[in-house]
């Protein structure tokens, strides 16, 4: 690009947007292919290259080929959408390319075999929005994912990108921006849920000329990938939100702290930063307003505790990422002792659309205390895994069963764990709970950054609590004794229980320790670490008692407390369990009842999982 491409005024931006829209409209068809990490792992980039080769060979110059960010329906990738009809094809392979070009692009025919088939109605869904996974979603944060090429700033501009920044710099004071964000009701999506506009105002009101903004893209929760997909698929929205926030609080420097395991996110953000600099949307005198702002990427080293604000700040400063005592809070004294505003990726991405469409529009979505939408990573024992964006107040039942398609293998729902490793486990009796910041806290869980892990009847809740406590023991920075020693001791007790050595008084000790750790830890890693234990004790105490008093694990997970048997009256002799048994512990002729040799059985549970007739039982 040359210097002539610099956008010096909002009118320059409007002119570029008009040219992009005109250029796009000249194309007859657009083939949109998901190029997010999930679909890349399933071969979408090879698919993209094959489409390019065959379109060129066919002389179809009027067809646009576009690599986009994650569409969300990761379970069914690679995903291809044919515009303008928005025909949605899933699980597309190289062998399908020729047929898509011939039938759909050249002759406007739909390929039924590639359409999503609703398992309830048995109907094929032709358009993306008709697919049950998408039907109940409302996409604000994900508004551009699956639509624009994240490596092309003109695509973002054509989708009304940087309109909010132009509006802010051309006619709003910093105070007005803070007020608008506060009026929207936007709360931080990183887990704490603190009102964003209020946080900005606190930082803005601090004395001194040097202030910073930081985007927390560390996202260390197991199973969470919301922020990754936003940074990969819509990096300019993150930059635009940060730039608006920097103007509001009076910062001229920003940092994007990105998890080290996110190479594609880092690559796309670097491209976006350079493009924004070239266009004059980052750097000096943005839109001729006199406002200067630059952004630098810092890669995290993989410490979960760096998701905590002060730990993240220490890491950017070059120190070990350990939390610091608060107060003072980062908004008062943060990076290098200067007032610093930290929001996570999802929070920043909401900012441009709020300033573009207005606070009242955003505040009309969601619940009284939780406005807007929330992106969740829906994973675990659910049929449709992926990224889900729903209005605040949507119920867990809607998310798990309507969007997620229910539980795999027609098993029973047991629980959903929300809020990452420090979150709580919510039982079936609370499936109709509206999901927002306050309702989740009331039931002993938390929003967190938005992880939703679905569990079925084959999940042992004691083992789940032990797993998450084990993760947190390893991720504790060790600076304060309540977290360092308390979480470790809780994990030791849980380990004894699942190994069949639980004893009277263990549950009371867990509760006492958990409440102490919550109340006295230095940071929120320790402050929330007991949640998996306390919530499972609250809702699944009977499972703990069975482990301790009966020495039984009814879910068939804890090896020291389980024995498998095959019911001869139910077994059909299908041989599935025999063929899949890793130790050949199962014997029996075809169409005759099988049996398990307890001496050879390693209690892996494979037989229980593969049996389609309920013949394998847990004793």
Structure tokens, 503: 């004893």
Residue 185 bridge partners (DSSP): none
- Dihedral, CA atoms, 534, 539, 540, 544, nearest 10 degrees? 40
* Edge-to-edge strand list for the sheet holding 373-380: 386-391, 373-380, 451-456, 413-418, 424-427
Select from 461, 456, 486 the least CA-distant residue to 472: 486
Domains of the chain and any CATH numbers: 25-128 (3.40.30.10), 153-363 (3.40.50.11540), 373-456 (3.10.20.600), 461-550 (1.20.1440.230), 563-618 (3.30.70.20)
Angle, helices 196-204 vs 235-249, to 10°: value is 50
List, for residues 566-597, the tens digit of each pLDDT value.
999 999 999 999 999 999 999 999 999 999 99
DSSP secondary structure letters along 341-389: EEEEHHHHHHHHHHHHH-HHHHHTSB-SSSBSEEEEEEEESBSS-EEEE
Contacts of 406 (CB under 8 A, 6+ apart): 382, 383, 400, 413
Q: Which helix (H) or strand (E) holds 462?
A: helix 461-475
Residue-level pLDDT at 619? 84
What pTM, to 2 d.p., does this model score?
Answer: 0.95
User: Which residue stretches of the chain have pLDDT < 50?
Assistant: 1-4
Quick one: CA dihedral 579, 581, 583, 589, positive or negative? Answer: negative
Residue-level pLDDT at 1? 38
Taking the C-alpha atoms of residue 277 and residue 252, their distance in angstroms, rounded to an integer, is 14
Cβ–Cβ under 8 Å, residues 90 and 116: yes
Instruction: Specify the 3-state DSSP secondary structure of 484.
Output: helix
DSSP secondary structure letters along 67-105: EE---S-GGG-S-EEEETTTEEE-S--GGGHHHIIIIII
Quick one: CA dihedral 246, 250, 255, 257, positive or negative? Answer: negative
DSSP state of 401: I
Cβ–Cβ under 8 Å, residues 203 and 249: yes
Instruction: Specify the 3-state DSSP secondary structure of 575.
Output: coil
- Report the percentage of the chain scoring pLDDT > 90: 92
Taking the C-alpha atoms of residue 206 and residue 404, their distance in angstroms, rounded to an integer, is 45
List, for residues 98-131, the tens digit of each pLDDT value.
999 999 999 999 999 999 999 889 999 999 999 9
């Amino acid at each position: 690009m040359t210097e002539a491409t610099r956008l010096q005024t909002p009118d320059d931006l409007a002119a570029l947007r008009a040219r992009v829209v005109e250029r796009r409209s000249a194309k007859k068809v657009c083939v949109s292919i998901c190029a997010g990490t999930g679909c890349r792992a399933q071969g979408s980039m090879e698919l993209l290259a094959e489409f390019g080769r065959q379109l060129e060979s066919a002389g179809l110059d009027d067809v646009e080929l576009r690599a986009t960010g994650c569409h969300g329906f990761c379970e069914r990738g690679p995903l291809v959408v044919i515009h303008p009809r928005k025909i949605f094809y899933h699980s597309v392979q190289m062998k399908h390319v020729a047929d898509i070009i011939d039938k759909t692009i050249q002759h406007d025919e739909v390929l039924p075999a590639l359409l999503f088939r609703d398992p309830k109605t048995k109907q094929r869904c032709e358009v993306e929005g008709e697919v049950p996974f998408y039907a109940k979603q409302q996409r604000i944060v994900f508004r551009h994912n699956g639509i624009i090429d994240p490596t092309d700033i003109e695509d973002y501009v054509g989708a009304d990108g940087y309109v909010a920044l132009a509006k802010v710099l051309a006619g709003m004071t910093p105070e007005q921006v803070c007020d608008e964000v506060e009026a929207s009701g936007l709360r931080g999506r990183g887990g704490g849920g603190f009102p964003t506009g209020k946080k900005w105002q606190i930082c803005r009101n601090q004395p001194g000329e040097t202030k910073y903004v930081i985007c927390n893209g560390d996202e260390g929760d197991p199973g969470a990938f919301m922020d990754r997909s936003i940074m990969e698929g819509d990096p300019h929205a993150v930059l635009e939100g940060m730039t608006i926030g920097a103007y509001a609080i009076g910062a001229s420097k920003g940092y994007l702290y990105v998890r080290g395991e996110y190479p594609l996110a880092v690559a796309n953000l670097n491209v976006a930063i350079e493009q924004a600099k070239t266009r004059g949307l980052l750097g000096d005198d943005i839109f001729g307003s006199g406002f200067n702002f630059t952004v630098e990427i810092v890669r995290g080293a993989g410490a979960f505790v760096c998701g905590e604000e002060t730990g993240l700040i220490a890491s950017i400063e070059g120190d070990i990422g350990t939390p610091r005592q608060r107060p003072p809070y980062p908004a008062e004294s943060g990076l290098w002792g200067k007032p610093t505003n930290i929001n996570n990726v999802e929070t920043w991405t909401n900012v441009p659309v709020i300033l573009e469409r207005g606070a009242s529009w955003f505040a009309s979505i969601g619940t009284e205390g939780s406005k807007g939408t929330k992106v969740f990573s829906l994973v675990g024992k659910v049929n449709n895994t992926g990224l889900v964006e729903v209005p605040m107040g949507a119920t867990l039942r809607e998310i798990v069963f309507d969007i997620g398609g229910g539980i795999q293998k027609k098993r029973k729902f047991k629980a959903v764990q929300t809020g990452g490793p420090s979150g709580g486990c919510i039982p079936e009796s609370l499936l109709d709970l509206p999901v927002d910041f306050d309702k989740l806290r009331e039931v002993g869980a938390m929003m967190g950054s938005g992880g939703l892990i679905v569990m079925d009847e084959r999940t042992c809740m004691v083992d789940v609590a032990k797993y998450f406590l084990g993760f947190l023991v390893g991720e504790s920075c060790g600076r304060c004794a309540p977290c360092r020693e308390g979480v470790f001791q809780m994990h030791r007790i849980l380990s004894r229980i699942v190994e069949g050595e639980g004893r009277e008084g263990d549950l009371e000790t867990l509760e006492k320790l958990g409440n102490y750790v919550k109340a006295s830890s230095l940071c929120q890693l320790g402050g929330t670490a007991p949640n998996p234990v306390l919530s499972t004790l609250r809702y699944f105490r009977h499972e703990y008692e069975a482990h301790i008093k009966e020495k039984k694990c009814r879910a068939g997970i804890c090896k020291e407390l389980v024995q498998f048997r095959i019911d001869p009256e139910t077994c059909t002799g299908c041989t599935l369990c025999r063929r899949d048994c890793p130790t050949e512990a199962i014997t029996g002729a075809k169409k005759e009842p099988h049996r398990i040799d307890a001496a050879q059985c390693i209690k892996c549970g494979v037989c229980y999982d593969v049996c389609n007739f309920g013949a394998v039982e847990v004793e």
